[in-house]
Amino acid sequence: MDFNFTEEQSMLRDTIASFLQDKYDFDTRRKIVSSDSGWRADYWKAFAEELGILGAPFSEELGGLGGGAVDNMIVMEEFGKALVIEPYLGTVVIGGGFLKHSGHADAASVIEGIIGGTTTIAFAYGEPQARYTWRDLKTTAKKDGAARAGPSTATRPW
């Protein structure tokens, strides 16, 4: 069994590493964490437009790069090395992964927004008082105007 990366996967890793080394040093990260939003929409847009990595795990039919789990792992490994805080895990891995398999009519358009860097997804998975018990959840959500956080201006009722 061959555990080596393909040439494309090695290029993906090297491209991300080079970008982060040039633009995402520890002092930059510290400033981002201290900002009001806690992350930078312009970096998110660069991940989409300059690097194309937000589409790494999505099929070419959806506008992605046609990769999969290994491509996600490569991106996340490089992001981990640089302590990147932009919402890749919640948006691309969890949200995008769910949408790919959801069968929902609007899934492709939301994935298109993820790939283009205009949509982010928050993954809410637990509450302190619930201790991982779904019977004690207090948080609710309702659509109330347009989304305000991050670069996305659309909300979805799911």
Asked whether residue 151 carries a pLDDT value surpassing 70, the answer given is no
Nearest to 53 by CA among 108, 93, 25, 98: 93
The pLDDT score that the predictor gives to residue 147 is 58
Amino acid of residue 120: T
pLDDT in tens, 2-57: 889 999 999 999 999 999 999 999 999 999 999 998 999 999 999 999 999 999 99
Q: What angle do CA 110, 113, 116 make, to 5 degrees?
A: 155
Nearest to 88 by CA among 142, 43, 31, 29: 43
- Is the domain 7-136 a CATH 1.20.120.1200 member? no
Asked whether residue 117 carries a pLDDT value surpassing 60, the answer given is yes
pLDDT in tens, 50-99: 999 999 999 999 889 898 889 999 999 999 999 999 999 999 999 999 99
